[in-house]
């Protein structure tokens, strides 16, 4: 299933993308009108926190609907995409320098990490597919992009074994780790330069884990104004998804709904000589195989 959070008629809702990806089954509407609001939670995040029971209830909703019921179907053109989890409860966890060539382009081979590097982005930085990225021109002139595969945790876990780590995942999405490189350098840490409002586009939807055959073998590509800037494969990660989850959970509890960005490949704007930073009017398109396409425009 592909879960979508969206706005229509000034109301936030969530649903399931149709097989042809042209429309959405409005689960919020189905829940309110058929089940009097009692079968499903109000938000997708609350559903993720319910675990497998939520998925079973969603299947019940879809199976109970008449074959030709159009009342609860919306065309993609009728909705405004929200981030799949519009208001995360916690900071988004991010892995730094998790592709060898990216680590080198940001410095040298000496910058290839021996241990996982973790930083976070503020929840207030999150926006959705097709939302605009604020260039914050009064604060930065080194605006950069980083296309990434992101994990959505589906279960709470502490000291998770690597061999069990994928069982804790709800699904996958795409994340653009937008960064102000000059602020990153100025403050000598990552948080401020990566947490300005609109600096965390996520979406367009969450693909549940059973729909991704192998998350460690997915093509990932970032285009700026149609030009390919990043092109790699998740098999090139230095630290695998199970390793990331296991390492993070050794001393802290990971919770359902947590978002973990797994790192970006080589080809970011800072990595070019001279650098090729973003400017107002640029469109960034991130494609992850089996997951989708995330597009945002810089304003």
81: Cβ contacts below 8 Å, ≥ 6 apart? 4, 5, 6, 128, 129, 130, 131, 203, 204
Residue 257 — pLDDT band, cuts 50, 70, 90? very high
pTM above 0.75, yes or no: yes
Of 58, 81, 104, which marks where a domain is finished? 81
Considering the domain architecture, whether residues 172 and 61 belong to the same structural domain is answered as: no
Please say if the pLDDT value at position 67 is more than 70.
no
pLDDT for res 72 = 87
Please say if the pLDDT value at position 68 is more than 80.
no
Q: Please count the CA atoms within 13 angstroms of the CA of 151 that sit on its side-chain side.
A: 30
Please say if the pLDDT value at position 218 is more than 90.
yes
Of 38, 53, 81, which marks where a domain is finished? 81
pLDDT for res 66 = 62
With respect to residue 233, please indicate whether it lies within any of the assigned structural domains. Answer: yes
DSSP 67: T
With respect to residue 249, please indicate whether it lies within any of the assigned structural domains. Answer: yes
Write the CATH number for 183.
3.90.850.10
Q: In terms of Cα–Cα distance, which of 140, 141, 145 is closest to 224?
A: 145
Considering the domain architecture, whether residues 140 and 34 belong to the same structural domain is answered as: no
3-state SS of 103-137 is HHHCCCHHHCCCCCEEEEECHHHEECCCCEECCCC
Considering the domain architecture, whether residues 27 and 121 belong to the same structural domain is answered as: no
Considering the domain architecture, whether residues 96 and 16 belong to the same structural domain is answered as: no
Considering the domain architecture, whether residues 72 and 168 belong to the same structural domain is answered as: no
With respect to residue 69, please indicate whether it lies within any of the assigned structural domains. Answer: yes
Encode pLDDT of 92-148 as tens digits.
999 999 999 999 998 888 889 999 999 999 999 999 999 999 999 999 999 999 999
Considering the domain architecture, whether residues 287 and 153 belong to the same structural domain is answered as: yes
Considering the domain architecture, whether residues 160 and 196 belong to the same structural domain is answered as: yes
pLDDT for res 134 = 98
Tell me the residue range of the domain where 127 lies: 92-298
Mean pLDDT across the stretch 273-288?
Answer: 97
Q: How many domains does the chain have?
A: 2
């Amino acid at each position: 299933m592909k879960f979508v959070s969206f706005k229509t008629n000034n109301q936030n809702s969530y649903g399931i993308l149709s097989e042809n990806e042209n429309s959405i089954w409005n689960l919020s509407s189905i829940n309110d009108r058929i089940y009097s609001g009692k079968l499903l939670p109000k938000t997708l995040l609350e559903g993720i926190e319910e675990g497998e029971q939520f998925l079973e209830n969603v299947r019940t909703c879809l199976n109970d609907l008449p074959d030709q019921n159009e009342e609860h179907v919306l065309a993609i053109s009728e909705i405004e995409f929200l981030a799949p989890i519009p208001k995360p409860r916690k900071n988004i966890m991010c892995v730094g320098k998790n592709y060898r060539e990216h680590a080198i382009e940001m410095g040298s081979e000496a910058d290839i990490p021996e241990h996982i590097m973790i930083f976070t982005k503020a929840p207030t930085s999150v926006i959705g597919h097709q939302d605009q990225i604020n260039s914050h021109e009064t604060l930065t002139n080194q605006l950069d992009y980083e296309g990434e595969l992101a994990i959505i945790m589906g279960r709470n876990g502490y000291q998770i074994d690597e061999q069990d780590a994928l069982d804790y995942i709800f699904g996958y999405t795409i994340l653009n780790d937008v960064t102000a490189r000059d602020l990153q350098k100025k403050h000598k840490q990552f948080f401020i330069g990566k947490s300005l409002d609109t600096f965390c586009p996520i979406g367009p939807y969450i693909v549940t884990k059973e729909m991704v055959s192998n998350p460690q073998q997915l093509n990932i590509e970032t285009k700026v104004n149609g030009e390919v800037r990043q092109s790699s494969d998740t098999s090139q990660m230095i630290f695998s998804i199970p390793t990331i989850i296991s390492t993070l959970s050794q001393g802290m509890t990971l919770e359902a709904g947590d978002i973990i960005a797994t790192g970006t490949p080589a080809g970011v704007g800072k990595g070019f000589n001279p650098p090729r930073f973003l400017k107002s009017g640029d469109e960034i398109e991130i494609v992850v195989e089996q997951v989708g396409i995330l597009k945002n425009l810089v304003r």
